[in-house]
Structure 1
Amino acid sequence: MKNWIFQKTFLAFLCIGLIGIGFLVPAMIPLLEEQLQSLPNVPDLPFEVLVISSLINPMILLIIAIIVGQLTAPRLKLDSYLYHHMQENKSIWKTFKSNLPIGIILGVIVSAIFFSFELIFQPYLPETLKMSVESRNVVNTLNGIFYGGIVEELLLRWGLMSLLIWIMWKVFQRSKSAPSAAIFWISIIISSILFALGHLGINMLAAPLTPLILTRMLLLNGIAGIVFGWLYWKKGLEIAMISHAALHITTTIITNIWFLL
Structure 2
Amino acid sequence: MATIDSIRFPRLKLGLLLFLAGMLGVVFLTVAVPLQNLGDTSLTLPSWLLLVVSITQSALLVALVVWLGVSLAPKVGLSAPAFEAAATKQSVAAALRPQLFPGFLGGLLGGFGLFAIGGYASPAEIADVGQSFTVPLLARVLYGGITEELILRWGLMTVLVWIAWRVLQGRQGTPQIGYIWFAIVVSAVLFGAAHLPAAIVQFGQLTADVAVFVVGANTVFGVLFGYLFWRYGLEAAMIAHAFAHVVSHVVGHVVGLVAA
TM-score, normalised via structure 2 length? 0.89
CA distance in 2, matches of 1:21, 1:51: 11
CA distance in 2, matches of 1:175, 1:141: 42
Call closer, same or farther: CA 1:103–1:220 in 2, change over 3 Å: same
The match for 2:248 is: 251
Deviates more, 1:212-221 or 1:61-70: 212-221
Shift in Å, 1:23: 0.9
Q: Percent identity among equivalent residues?
A: 28
146, 169, 176: which one pairs with 1:173? 169
146, 152, 157: which one pairs with 2:148? 152
Shift in Å, 1:84: 2.6
1:226 aligns with 2:223: yes
Call closer, same or farther: CA 1:241–1:164 in 2, change over 3 Å: same
The answer to whether the Cα contact below 8 Å between 1:128 and 1:206 also exists between their aligned partners in 2 is no
The match for 1:85 is: 85
CA distance in 2, matches of 1:72, 1:241: 19
Q: Deviations over 1:192-226 (max 9, x none)?
A: 01111111111111112111111211122111100
Shift in Å, 1:58: 1.5
196, 201, 204: which one pairs with 1:200? 196
CA distance in 1, matches of 2:175, 2:218: 26
33, 36, 53: which one pairs with 1:33? 36
CA distance in 2, matches of 1:142, 1:116: 21
Shift in Å, 1:36: 6.9
1:190 aligns with 2:186: yes
Question: How many equivalent residue pairs?
Answer: 252
Q: Deviations over 1:103-156 (max 9, x none)?
A: 1111111121222223333463355434x4x766xx521111101111111111
Call closer, same or farther: CA 1:126–1:8 in 2, change over 3 Å: closer
The answer to whether the Cα contact below 8 Å between 2:99 and 2:232 also exists between their aligned partners in 1 is yes
Q: Secondary structure in 2 aligned to 1:23?
A: helix
18, 24, 32: which one pairs with 2:23? 18
CA distance in 2, matches of 1:19, 1:179: 32
1:237 aligns with 2:242: no
Q: Secondary structure in 2 aligned to 1:37?
A: coil
Call closer, same or farther: CA 1:233–1:123 in 2, change over 3 Å: closer
TM-score, normalised via structure 1 length? 0.88
Call closer, same or farther: CA 1:155–1:123 in 2, change over 3 Å: closer
Q: Secondary structure in 1 aligned to 2:84?
A: helix
Deviates more, 1:94-103 or 1:248-257: 94-103
| AA of the residue aligned to 1:9 | L
The answer to whether the Cα contact below 8 Å between 1:103 and 1:239 also exists between their aligned partners in 2 is yes
CA distance in 2, matches of 1:57, 1:175: 33
The match for 1:216 is: 213
Shift in Å, 1:234: 0.4
117, 138, 142: which one pairs with 1:142? 138
Deviates more, 1:20-29 or 1:221-230: 20-29
Deviates more, 1:207-216 or 1:177-186: 207-216
CA distance in 1, matches of 2:13, 2:78: 19
RMSD (Å) for aligned C-alpha atoms = 2.2
- Where does the alignment leave 5 or more consecutive residues of structure 1 unmatched? none
Q: Deviations over 1:23-46 (max 9, x none)?
A: 1123331xx22447333xx31x33
The match for 1:103 is: 103
CA distance in 1, matches of 2:155, 2:126: 34
Q: Secondary structure in 2 aligned to 1:178?
A: coil
